[in-house]
Amino acid sequence: GAVVSQHPSRVICKSGTSVKIECRSLDFQATTMFWYRQFPKKSLMLMATSNEGSKATYEQGVEKDKFLINHASLTLSTLTVTSAHPEDSSFYICSARRGGPGTEAFFGQGTRLTVV
């Protein structure tokens, strides 16, 4: 199956700093990638849809200035958590699809962010 690589898998940062998380599709081109957040023992919550070459589409309630998404190439999307606060501590995971609806979704390994 296709591989989506996410980095880093774990990061600890100080309040007020910014953290960048990378999501790469290693063996296919992904025009669309998705960023999710997961709280403990809860399901995945879609934060935004990352579109190559254009602005990301954010879900209601997600601050676009807080969670900056850049999809500069067909194989790389980045999520930057700006001015991180302890309440941003969470598990973040990306996914990518080879095509549109009805195609298989592949997930990164996830990033556990802890803001101290």
Residues lying near another protein in the complex (CB under 8 A) are found at 1, 32, 34, 38, 42-44, 46, 49, 91, 93, 95, 97, 100-110, 112
Q: Which is nearer to another protein, 65 or 104 (CB)?
A: 104
Q: Which is nearer to another protein, 49 or 80 (CB)?
A: 49
Q: Which is nearer to another protein, 84 or 93 (CB)?
A: 93
- Return the SS3 of 29: coil
Question: Minimal CA–CA distance to 111: which of 80, 66, 86, 82?
Answer: 80
Report how far residue 29's alpha carbon sits from residue 80's, in angstroms, rounded to the nearest whole number.
21
Q: Which is nearer to another protein, 1 or 86 (CB)?
A: 1
The minimum distance between CB 93 and another protein, in angstroms, equals 7
Q: Is 112 exposed, middle or buried (0-12, 13-18, 19+ CB in 10 A)?
A: middle
Pairing of strands 10-13, 67-73: unpaired
Structural contact between residues 7 and 110, judged by C-beta atoms closer than 8 angstroms = no
The minimum distance between CB 29 and another protein, in angstroms, equals 16
The minimum distance between CB 16 and another protein, in angstroms, equals 26
